[in-house]
Amino acid sequence: MPLWHTGRISRTRFQMNGEAPIGPSAVRANTKTFLAVRGFVDVSTPRALERDETPGIIDDFPKLAMLYLKSNC
């Protein structure tokens, strides 16, 4: 299973505390995402990623990969 940081192709309802998704800029992508109960809906407007947040996102990938492997999916 590939791990993907969805960035701005997301919705606030998928984020912790309903916060805006993060992306390279605060520009909403002209696309949709899928909600099981509503079908395809517009993505939310993201907030711009701050430079100091980048290392944390990079560090999250191996942690998530290990969690995935432990889940036996």
pLDDT tens digits, one per residue of 48-72: 999 999 999 899 889 988 998 898 7
Cα-based distances in Å from 14 to 51, 52, 72: 23, 23, 23
- The residue extents of the domains of the chain are 12-70
From CA 34, how far away is CA 51, in angstroms rounded?
Answer: 29
Cα-based distances in Å from 64 to 5, 15, 39, 52: 11, 16, 27, 20
* Model confidence pLDDT, tens digit, residues 10-43: 999 888 899 999 998 999 999 999 988 999 999 9
